């Protein structure tokens, strides 16, 4: 087994002006592992995810992809990645699925799924179309390729967004609250797809408010509180026997909601 994590974050600090959002967070995801990030709004979960694939610049700490550290220039709020080719390579290998789907409204679902592999990776359109149709089938909307996003339900749009992420053939998938914009009924369609991907052995980082999803699919769960890791461990321990008062309070509040 390769012991080098796909994603490794060490002592990450991120602030917006005077607001410290991440105050020294370290996480890693081995190949085939599912790591879920839980915590209250404002705890830094989504920011951490965006720092992983360099959508956000951090002020301190290391980001490594398959053992390769991101190279930086500048310090503090002036710190930026120094190698644009490296950033593109990492981003294309860490496909992100957003809360709000982010599909192009003027393109069909098939075109949405094909766009990045063809335009960003320069892959052959015929091969990409074959792969795109396979992934649309996999997420259960193989019959919607010629439809436009506005013609689909929220659950179908999110499944199209997952197919789009898969079509990049990434090393890992990053999910940012993938079900929070959906009605409970539609949420279950997306949860099923994520569970299927976990069973396939996909490497995933998932920010979620859905504790059942985190408990069902995760190898490791991280509870963030005010920009720090309050507690982490296997889901059975974290949900079954939480050690910290804050985590116990958080879990009882989510159960009551």
* pLDDT surpasses 70 at 213: yes
List the CATH code of the domain at 7-256.
3.40.50.300
Which residue pairs, CB below 8 angstroms and at least 24 apart, start in 212-219?
Answer: 213/36, 213/179, 214/36, 214/38, 214/239, 215/239, 217/34, 217/36, 218/34, 218/35, 218/36, 219/33, 219/34, 219/35
Confidence of residue 78 (pLDDT cuts 50, 70, 90): very high
What pTM was estimated for this model as a whole? 0.94
Domain segments of the chain as ranges: 7-256
Write the pLDDT tens digit of every residue in 34-73: 999 999 998 999 999 999 999 999 999 999 999 999 999 9
Over residues 164-206, the pLDDT tens digits come to: 999 999 999 999 999 988 888 889 999 999 999 999 999 999 9
């Amino acid at each position: 087994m390769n012991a080098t994590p796909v994603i490794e974050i060490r002592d990450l600090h991120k602030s917006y002006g005077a607001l410290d959002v991440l105050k020294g967070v370290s996480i890693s995801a081995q190949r085939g592992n599912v790591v879920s990030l839980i915590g209250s709004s404002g705890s830094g979960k989504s920011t951490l995810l965006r720092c992983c694939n360099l959508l956000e610049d951090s002020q301190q700490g290391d980001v490594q992809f398959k053992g390769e550290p991101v190279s930086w220039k500048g310090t503090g709020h002036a710190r930026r990645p120094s190698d644009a080719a490296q950033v593109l390579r990492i981003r294309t290998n860490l496909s992100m699925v957003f809360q709000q789907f982010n599909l192009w409204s003027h393109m069909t679902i098939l075109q949405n799924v094909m766009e990045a592999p063809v335009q960003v990776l320069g892959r052959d359109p015929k091969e990409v179309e074959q792969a795109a149709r396979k992934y649309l089938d996999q997420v259960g909307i193989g019959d919607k390729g010629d439809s436009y996003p506005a013609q689909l339900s929220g659950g179908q749009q999110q499944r199209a967004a997952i197919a789009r992420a898969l079509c990049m053939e990434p090393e890992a998938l990053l999910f940012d609250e993938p079900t929070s914009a959906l009605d409970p009924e539609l949420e279950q369609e997306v949860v099923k797809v994520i569970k299927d991907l976990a069973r396939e052995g996909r490497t995933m980082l998932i920010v979620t408010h859905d504790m059942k999803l985190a408990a069902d699919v995760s190898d490791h769960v991280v509870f963030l509180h005010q920009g720090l890791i309050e507690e982490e461990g296997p889901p059975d321990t974290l949900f079954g026997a939480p050690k910290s008062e804050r985590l116990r309070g958080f879990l009882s509040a989510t159960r009551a909601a």
